[in-house]
Amino acid sequence: MKKLINEPGTVLDDALAGIAAAHSDLLSVDTDHRVITRAGARRPGKVALVSGGGSGHEPLHGGFVGTGMLDAACPGEVFTSPVPGQMVAAAKAVDTGAGTLFVVKNYTGDVLNFEMAAELAAEEGLSTAAVLVDDDVAVRDSTFTAGRRGTGGTVFVEKIAGALAERGAPLADVADVAARVNAATRSFAVALTACTAPAAGKPGFELPDDEIEIGVGIHGEPGRHRGKLRPARDIVADMLAAVLADQLLAAGDEVLVMVNGLGATPLLELYIVYREVAALLAGRGVRVAGNLVGNYVTSLDMAGASITVCKTTDDLLALWRAPVHTAALRWGI
């Protein structure tokens, strides 16, 4: 294993120290509770957005803390859910009295711990709501989940709900728009190589040089099947077909598209993937109203990509285009 780390056991704490040093203008890091919050004073009456999950998916979630998106993030150990105490500490740190929305990816540990955190927060007089992100169409159940996995759609949920909260909307409305975005979003991923968790010291699974994992999860969970490595156009056609089989789009529809790298895929290749996605959608008369191409929800050093498509509306699109200023996403400011 070759990694730029000090010790496997200190990876998270060392990374949090680095995040704090790199982005002190945007965020603060509570190293005791392992909570990342927005820098500066809290705005009275604003609904807070809190998300979290295992580390190894950067920039998710800490990279999306800032104006127009999250108020706090709770990073767990690599591929391990944060604990309820972290989540409650995050909610308390950013609470303004208007309530907190928990954005939860559908992994068993995350779901159980956020549910427990909501109960503990209620005991302390905090109002919370939650939205479950389950956008991955590759498999219904997997190693980590009951039901669909939460993957790239998390970025769309956090951005659009974050923009509405920034406008001063009440908790019920913010939770509702987050649920709408999740319901309108589908994702599918393929892996060219496995990733190596620092504590494991070896790849999470074996994959021959001429094969790819089709429908892989962001922790390296197996997908639908393995297939031979083929030209990008053929792989993308199959990925998008899986998305569109579950998300009916008609000519004239508008969508947001994210082509996301899983950690080790060059941007050059991600643009090739996006070219194929855009061409296939255009052939159906579907208009791409906004896009992201890059690394947003990664899986350590896994080579591969995911495609996320969100069927949008005028109000959702306006919220998507609203100003955002985080370490990993920024425009309009």
Active site residues: 57, 219
Instruction: State the CB neighbour count (10 A cutoff) for residue 234.
Output: 13
Give which of 296, 311, 54 is closest to 158, Cα–Cα: 296
Burial of 39 (0-12, 13-18, 19+ CB in 10 A): middle
Sheet hosting strand 324-326, strand order edge to edge: 66-67, 324-326, 330-331
Is the separation of the CB atoms in 65 and 27 below 8 Å? yes
CB–CB of 38/297 below 8 Å?
Answer: no
**Rounded Cα distance, 323 and 12, in Å:** 30
Asked, as a colleague might, if the bond just before 59 is cis with ω within 30 of 0, I would say yes
Burial of 317 (0-12, 13-18, 19+ CB in 10 A): middle
